[in-house]
Each structure stands twice: as C-alpha cells, then as structure tokens.
Amino acid sequence: MNVRTPPRPDAPPAPDPSRHPRVRRLVVSLPDRLPVILGVVGVVCLLAILANVFEPLVVVPAAAVGVAALWRFGPEPLRTTRSAFLSSVVVLVLAVAWIAANVRYASEYVVVNRDPGFLTLQAIWLRTHSFSEIPAGSAAAVMKAVGAAHAGMDAFDLRHGYLYAQGNKMLPGLLAAEGWLGGVRAILAGNLLIGGVGIVTVFATARRLVGDWWAVLPAVALAGSLPFLAFTRAGYTEPLAMVFTLAGMTAALSALRSLRRSQFLLTGALLGTAAASRIDGTLGVLAVFAAIGMVALATLDPGTRATLRAGLLWIAAPAIPLALLGIWDVREKSPVYLAEQHTNVESLLLLTLLALAIALAATSGAGFARPRAFVARHRPGTARAVALVFALTMAVLVSRPWWLVERNLHAGTSVVSDMAHLQASLGLPVDPQRSYDELSLSWIAWYFGWTVVVLGIVGLVLMARRAIADRDPRLGAFTAFVMVGSMYYLVRVNITPDQIWAVRRLVPLTIPGFLIATAWALSRVPTARSSARAVLVAALTVAVAVFPVLTWNGLAGRVELRGRYEQALSACAALDHAGVHHVVWIHSSPFHYLATLRVICDVDVVEFVSPPTASQLAAVRAAWGPAPVAVMTFDVGMVPWTARPATPVETTVSPEMARRLTGRPTTVTWTTSALWFGMLTDAGTVTPSR
C-alpha cells in the first residue's frame, strides 16, 4: 500500500494574518523546541563531566552555542492557528504554574536509600567540582587498617580511592547546573523544571495526533498524578527520559509526514539522548526502529520505502553513538553499576541492532513482496486481524492478576528479604520471591483510573486498525512505538515492586502513551448529532483529568524526607565547631549516611554497619593519627560512651509515603532521627560533645 496521510494539524504553516505573527509562531513552536534545548544542555553537561571539565565557564558557553546552532532544528512547524496558539499558551502557563506550585514541596533526598539520594548527592558534589569522582581521602587507608570500617557504601562504590556514584550523569549534571544559579535548594527542586518540560512535551506529541485542545487533556492528567509529582519533586531520571522519548516520537511523526532527512536525524538525536540519560533508555531507539520497520513493511511504493530505509540509517547515525555514550558514561563514572547491569545492557543493545537490521530488511522488495501485496489486497481484514491480536494481547495483560502470580525475584538477594519483611508488616502472605509483575497495568489504574486503562487500550487498538485501513503511517508508528517500548516492563517490571517506587518504570513511555491514546479515543467519538454521546465524552474527559488528583490522599501536600537537608547542615555545623575533618558514622537508620557527610560536610568518613567494639574504634583512632576524630550516629545505644550524652545535636521528624504492594500509597510513615555526636578517644570510647 502507498503511504497516505490525511490532513492533520501539523501541515506546513499557512500565512498568519494576525498581529505579531513571529511571537505567535514562537509560542506555537516552544513545546517542540524546549525538549531540543534541554537535550543540547544535557549532552553538553554529560560531555563536560566525562572530560572532567564540568564548570560554568565551559558548560554555559558550549550550551549557548549548541542551542543557537540547533535553534531551527525541530519538528516540522505547525500552522499558527488561533487554537494552536491558545492551546500552547494554556499548556505553557500550566507548566510554569505547576513548577511554581510544587517548588515548596521539593523532597529532601540527601540520604542514600534509593535513587533520588545518590543522584541528588552527586549533583550537590558537581555543583562545586569539575569531576564526578569523590575522593574518599584518608578514609580509604582507615578501611584497609580496620576491616569492619567501610569507606564506600550503597550506591557509592569505592574504587582506587574514589567514590563512584551509581548511574548515568546527565541528570546530576543538569541539576548541578541549576545549583550554580540557586544553590543546593535549586538542586533539590531542580527536577521540577524538567517535569515542566515533560508536561509540555506530552502536549507536543499529542497535538500531532489528536489536535490542539484534546492534546491538553493528557498533559493535565499527567501533571496532576501522584507518580509524576513524586518523581519530579526528587532526583529521579524517569521524567528526563520521558521528555526525550516523547520528543523523539514527535520528531518521528514529523519525519513520517515530511520524509525529510533533518526530521529523521532529529528523531535519532532525541531518542539517543534518552538512551544517554538512563541505562535502559535505548528502549526508545529499539521501539522507533520497530515502528518505522512496520510502516515500511506495509508500504508499496519503492521510492517511499527507499526513503524510509535512508531514514532508518539517519536515525541510527546519532542514536547509536549517543546510546554508546551513555554506556561509556557508566563504564567510566559508575563501573560497578555497569558490571551489575552488564547482561541487561548488552542484551538491550543487541536487540536494538537486531531491530534495525530487521527494519532495514523490511524496506527491501525481496522477501516481503508477498506479505506486502497481501496486506494491500486485504486491507480491511488485515486491519481487523491486527486490532484483534492487539486487543487479545492487552486483555491477557489486564487479566493476569486473576490467574497468575509472578515470582521473578532471585532467592538470596536483599530484595527478597526486604519483600518478606514488607509483606509481613502489611499483613500479606509471606511470599518473598513474588515480583508482582502481573499487576503492571493495574498500577496505571491505581493512579489514573480504569478509564485510562480501558480507553488507552481501545485507543491503541483502534489506532492499529486505522493505521492499516486508512494507510496512516503515523498512527501505525505511534501504536508500534508505544507497544514495543512498553511491553518489556509491562510483562516483567524488573524492579522492587513496592509502590510508589515501582510505577516509575512506566513513566518514560507507557503512562504518557496510554494518556495520549485515551485522548485520541475520546476525540474520535462523534458527538455532533447525539447529546447522550456528548455527555458521555464530557464525563469521561473530566474523569481522566480529575481522577489522578483524587488519588492524592493528602500525600501531595507533604515534603518527602522534610528536614533531612537541615539535619545534614546541623551535622556539618557541629563538625565545623569542633574543628573535625574525620568522622566515624555508626549505621542505625533506614539509609546510609557516609555519602551525605562526605558530600555536604566535606569530611573524610568511615561507616560501621553494625555496632563497633571499643577495640575497633581504637584501631580507627590509631589509623587516623593525631587528628581529632568524631563519632556520629542516629542510635545512642550503639556507641561506647564515656558518659551517656544528655541531648542530641538535632532531632528530625520526616515523612515518607508508606510502602504498599497491592495498592497505591494512602498513608505516611514518620521517621524520627536524633543526631548524636562525640569525640573518639585513644581507648576507643566516645566522649559526648554536649
């Protein structure tokens, strides 16, 4: 079949008779431009970190030059219609207001328990350093002398005297750059700026499929959802990956309409940047190869197939090197993490290259002529068959909780013991290897409602049918992109399965993909001659927009780990007052504190994960020489005091969403931590400082 695209809102721009046409064109183009600008700055930050020259004098001019050079490098411009302008204004204002409203709720993850902690601490370090490696200093020698003392801990691996923070460095670099302007507080709230761009990007992708005003719906639903609030108020990488993944999809839709080389290059650049931002970001590159390959498979015209073949290569030209840059990033800056994820990274990269090879083969005439001709002759039947397969696949995924219990957690790991403890505390049957993968689509329903799940599936199924029946390659590409890019995590989430933590796997593509498909399904319901249908569509639209807010249960109005940054500053002040640069931390809390003290207080730290004996502490004291050594802990009973201290340095009561396994969070867990401080004697006892 020949590629045919019906007139859509992204046709070439028509003359704009209104006043201030340049301003209006700029406003309409901003939702497409903002992800490109963010991508340029992100890649510049990453390259500067890899080159150990992460400084304002390097990053700011390079980013400015990059943005200026690529200012016109964006998707095909839309018509500057009244609706395009007004809807763009609405979403841009929504994004700015959303950022402003959420700044006061920025989390204080400056402790190492999960991703936000180590990514935030890495950003705080980079704010004042040109390199990402954190010297362990004299603590490394103490660790060699005293085996029970650790100079590196979870997510901060010690290697050759340096601490290597886990994960890719693009997000910490972007947050640190914000910290140059606003200090540590700007770092803590910095992901909200990326989240604001994410809201706009969802709108930018949706409007090329559903029109200007319907595109506002998925942006509003996402902005008000508890997962998006939680993952943008702290330093998670998923919102950043979402921006580049959806922007890449927008560019791909533009490329399939215009068939221009620049659009294919932009697609590859944006999806490659997503791959450089997260270790699993290459899923978007794989998905776009599969999507365009499917379009090529159904295209009869040899000239169009040849253009698509070239387009695939133009996508690969920036995407593959950027994906390899992301792997190089973790190889150089987080080698232990790469070693742990080596099998997954290698498999994903090989699958991506295989998808490219198959897609290129699909653009050839040989071998695919008969199936291509069959589809052309039996287009309505093929469309129904493909839609049926899609529908049955999604029905199986939705129904899994009724007949399947997934157990994919590996015995003997810390995750299994954590699951057993959590299940027992929640009153659930103890089944520690249960991974809860069968609930993946239910997770979307918990936060967005079954309306979004059902309408999202209906939208994707009908998109697949219309793509073939109406020969619309963009609908086919979008459906394939969302399905291929989502299926890996929908089938096996591959994460500790507690909420709200686990649903972050679905943020980069699956959740926005379902929201856009929901808007598409609603937009296709004919309402002009039926008031009943109009009322139904209006009710469903309100449900999609409002339901996410109804899931807050008061959680959206709290600051996760409130007071933890001030607590760290109190620890630093106590150490400064005592003139101490060497610290023993005795672990007694849900998180490790070594990296917090090392980064925020700039002191050398060793940590004991169990109560040390006086002889072990005496050995630490001897290994550190004549310099004063402090002992700090959250548990007064773990320290061999010379006399029990009367008062702690500081006491913090901080909230965190309570963990759940079979539903969304509904309550808060409060943790009280009193910071105790004393000076280590030669005998291995500790003299209270207060």
Nearest Cα to 505, choosing from 420, 439, 457, 431? 439
Q: Which of 206-220, 522-536, 592-606 has the lowest mean pLDDT?
A: 522-536
What's residue 368's pLDDT? 75
CA 51 to chain centre: 24
**DSSP type of residue 410:** P
pLDDT (average), residues 664-669 = 94
pLDDT in tens, 158-167: 999 999 999 9
- At residue 135 the predicted structure's pLDDT band, cuts being 50, 70 and 90, is very high
| Structure confidence at residue 297 (pLDDT) | 87
* Cβ proximity of 144 and 160 under 8 Å: no
The answer to whether residue 401 scores a pLDDT higher than 70 is yes
Neighbours of 424 (CB within 10 A): 12
- pLDDT score of 533: 87
Determine the pLDDT at residue 5: 44
Q: How confident is the model at residue 196 (pLDDT cuts 50, 70, 90)?
A: very high
Query: Does residue 300 have a pLDDT over 90?
Result: no
Which residues, at least 6 apart from 561, have a Cβ–Cβ distance to it below 8 Å? 107, 108, 109, 110, 111, 654, 655, 656
pLDDT in tens, 96-132: 999 999 999 999 999 998 889 999 999 999 999 999 9
Question: Helix (H, G, I), strand (E, B), or coil: what is residue 647?
Answer: coil
C-alpha angle with apex 76: 473 to 6, nearest 5 degrees? 35
Strand partners, 671: 654
Q: How many residues does the chain have?
A: 690
Which residues, other chains included, contact 628 with Cβ-Cβ below 8 Å and sequence gap of 6+?
578, 579, 580, 582, 679, 680
Per the prediction, the chain carries an average pLDDT of: 92
Using a pLDDT cut of 70, give the percent of the chain over it.
97
227, containing H or E segment: helix 226-232
d(CA 208, CA 247): 12
The one-letter amino acid code at 11 reads A
Alpha carbon distance 371, 410 (integer Å): 43
Q: How confident is the model at residue 18 (pLDDT cuts 50, 70, 90)?
A: low
pLDDT reported for residue 210: 95
- Residue 4 pLDDT greater than 70, yes or no: no
The string of pLDDT tens digits covering residues 572-615 is: 999 999 999 999 999 877 788 999 999 999 999 999 998 999 99
Which residues, listed in sequence order, are joined to residue 654 by a DSSP beta bridge?
671
Determine the average pLDDT of the residues in 276-283: 94
DSSP annotation of 669 reads: E
Q: What is the mean pLDDT of residues 215-243?
A: 97
Residue 13 has pLDDT above 70, yes or no: no
Q: Find, among 208, 201, 253, 285, the residue nearest to 476 by Cα.
A: 253
Q: Are 92 and 202 in contact (CB under 8 A)?
A: no
Q: Please, which pLDDT band fits residue 45 given cuts at 50, 70 and 90? A: very high
Residue 301: per-residue pLDDT: 86
Cβ atoms of 173 and 53 closer than 8 Å: no
The residues near 100 (Cβ < 8 Å, ≥ 6 apart) are none
> Residue 164 — φ and ψ, nearest 5°?
-110, 110
Gap between the Cα atoms of 187 and 279, Å rounded: 22
Provide mean pLDDT across the span 24-43.
96
- pLDDT of 20 > 80? The answer is no
pLDDT above 80: residue 77: yes
Q: What is the DSSP string of 458-471?
A: HHHHHHHHHHHHTT
Question: SS3 of 498, please?
Answer: coil
| Per-residue confidence (pLDDT) for residue 371, from 0 to 100 | 78
pLDDT band at 6; cut points 50, 70, 90: very low
